[in-house]
């Protein structure tokens, strides 16, 4: 009887401490998946290792914004990224991905200001399956035009460095897997020279969700260092769904870049603007205003107090929210 009981304990222990594995099928996006992304300030990522409990229940979250999985063929850029099978849309930006049984690869990006990054050597974001201590290095290269022609070259070092229980202000997740990505990359042009970047990022994945439950990042750029964290809700968003914005925009923003003010111009005769909110790179809300203006009105927003950098402007209209971005010089 004692021998049977010992064997029973060994079986239970083996089951309880089986290392999780995440395959492509476990996190493959479905077109239309939408999550509410909740930004907050930088959080210490905690320990690596097995059976870790990461407790972020005390994080203070700001107002969220949606992230949506879009069919690349429904965008204006399907021919530019013909091998993409999912596009991730947030804050007015598209990230064109290719998901395969072996990897999630980034093929290109189109920003809300229509800067297009085209990868001649795709960036591998994940290698499948995700297994504890699995790691790889990946070199990648892209080109884009932002005033002048740039080449972006980088290397990513990626490791699944932990698994365990993830506690967020929203929910608790068992068998979460943490992926640590460290990137060094450079933008080079004949006019601007070489601009360095270094990104240190931790992302937590769980089965059944196609977007990281939590992402913590610290990005050092030639302009300064940015850091923050982003949580998602575990259910699709119903009240904040933002459809991809194509060429016929509801609201136009100018000038971009700007030094003192940006102006909003409505694009059709039935739309009204109810309000607007400006967020920084980390998703922190900086400015907010209410407007009740008809189409041909020209509405100015004072941005003189903002520091130099990139910002997102969410405009609430009677036709739904629109996400724009602008640069403050």
**pLDDT for 77-129, tens place per residue?**
999 999 999 999 987 789 999 999 999 999 999 987 788 999 999 999 999 99
User: pLDDT tens digits for 319-328?
Assistant: 666 777 788 8
Which range (25-39, 232-246, 257-271) has the least confidence? 232-246
The answer to whether residue 103 sits within a structural domain is yes
The answer to whether residue 14 sits within a structural domain is no
Query: Which of 174, 205, 232 delimits the end of a domain?
Result: 232
The answer to whether residue 278 sits within a structural domain is yes
d(CA 215, CA 200): 11
* φ, ψ of residue 116 in degrees (nearest 5): -110, 120
Q: What is the average pLDDT across 25-40?
A: 90
User: pLDDT tens digits for 256-290?
Assistant: 888 899 988 776 666 777 788 887 766 677 888 87
The answer to whether residue 1 sits within a structural domain is no
Q: What is the average pLDDT across 226-231?
A: 89
The answer to whether residue 18 sits within a structural domain is no
Say how many C-beta atoms besides its own lie within 10 A of residue 318's C-beta: 10
Find the CATH number of the domain harbouring 268.
Answer: 2.60.40.3080
Res. 291: pLDDT tops 80: no
Res. 139: pLDDT tops 50: yes
Helices (H) and strands (E) in the chain, counts: 2, 22
| Helix (H) or strand (E) run with residue 162 in it | strand 148-167
Whether residues 183 and 155 fall in one domain: yes
Q: Which residue has the higher pLDDT, 16 or 302?
A: 302
Whether residues 146 and 49 fall in one domain: yes
Q: How far is CA 318 from CA 36, 125, 294, in A?
A: 21, 37, 11
Whether residues 164 and 297 fall in one domain: no
Query: Which of 176, 198, 232 delimits the end of a domain?
Result: 232
Residues ≥6 apart with Cβ < 8 Å to 326:
113, 253, 256, 257, 258, 262, 303, 310, 311, 313
Domain count, the chain: 2
pLDDT at 268: 61
CB 300 within 8 A of CB 291: no
Q: Which residue has the higher pLDDT, 275 or 131?
A: 131
Structural domain harbouring 315: 251-328
Whether residues 276 and 172 fall in one domain: no
The answer to whether residue 272 sits within a structural domain is yes
Whether residues 138 and 59 fall in one domain: yes
Whether residues 75 and 224 fall in one domain: yes
d(CA 96, CA 80): 10
Q: What is the average pLDDT across 190-209?
A: 93
Whether residues 213 and 257 fall in one domain: no
Supply the mean pLDDT for the chain.
Answer: 84
Q: List the Cα angle 231/233/235 in 5-degree steps.
A: 155
Query: Which of 170, 204, 232 delimits the end of a domain?
Result: 232
Whether residues 53 and 201 fall in one domain: yes
Whether residues 304 and 216 fall in one domain: no
Q: Which residue has the higher pLDDT, 234 or 154?
A: 154
Whether residues 188 and 268 fall in one domain: no
Tell me which residue of 274, 265, 261, 249 sits closest to 297, measured CA to CA.
Answer: 265
Residue 186: pLDDT band with limits 50, 70, 90: very high
> Alpha-carbon dihedral of residues 269, 273, 274, 276, nearest 10 degrees?
170
Whether residues 191 and 283 fall in one domain: no
The answer to whether residue 244 sits within a structural domain is no
Q: How far is CA 324 from CA 160, 163, 232, in A?
A: 34, 37, 21
Res. 241: pLDDT tops 50: no
The answer to whether residue 49 sits within a structural domain is yes
Whether residues 90 and 228 fall in one domain: yes
């Amino acid at each position: 009887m004692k021998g049977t009981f010992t064997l029973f304990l060994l079986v239970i222990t083996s089951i309880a401490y089986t290392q999780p594995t995440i395959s492509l099928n476990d996190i493959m996006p479905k077109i239309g998946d939408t999550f509410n992304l909740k930004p907050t300030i930088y959080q210490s990522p905690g320990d690596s290792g097995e059976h870790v409990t990461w407790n972020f229940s005390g994080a203070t979250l700001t107002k969220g914004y949606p992230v949506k999985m879009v069919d690349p063929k429904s965008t204006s850029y399907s021919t530019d990224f013909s091998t993409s099978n999912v596009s991730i849309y947030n804050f007015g930006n598209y990230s064109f991905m290719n998901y395969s049984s072996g990897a999630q690869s980034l093929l290109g990006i189109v920003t809300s200001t229509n800067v297009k990054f085209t990868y001649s050597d795709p960036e591998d974001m994940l290698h499948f399956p995700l297994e504890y201590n699995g790691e790889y290095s990946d070199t990648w290269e892209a080109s884009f035009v932002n005033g002048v022609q740039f080449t972006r070259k980088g290397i990513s070092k990626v490791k699944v460095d932990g698994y365990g229980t993830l506690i967020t202000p929203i929910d608790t997740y068992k068998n979460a897997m943490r992926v640590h990505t460290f990137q060094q990359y450079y933008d080079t042009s004949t006019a601007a020279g070489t601009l360095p970047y270094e990104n240190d990022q931790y992302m937590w994945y769980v089965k059944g969700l196609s977007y990281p439950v939590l992402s913590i990042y610290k990005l050092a750029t030639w302009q300064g260092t940015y850091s923050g964290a982003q949580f998602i809700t575990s259910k699709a968003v119903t009240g904040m769904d933002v459809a991809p914005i194509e060429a016929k925009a509801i609201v136009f923003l100018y000038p971009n870049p700007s030094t003192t003010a940006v102006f909003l111009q409505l694009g059709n005769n039935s739309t009204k603007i109810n309000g607007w909110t400006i967020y920084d790179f980390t998703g922190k809300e900086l400015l907010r205003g209410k407007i009740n203006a008809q189409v041909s009105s020209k509405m100015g927003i004072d941005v003189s107090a903002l520091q130099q950098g990139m910002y997102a402007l969410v405009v609430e209209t009677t036709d739904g929210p629109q996400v724009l971005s602008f640069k403050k010089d």
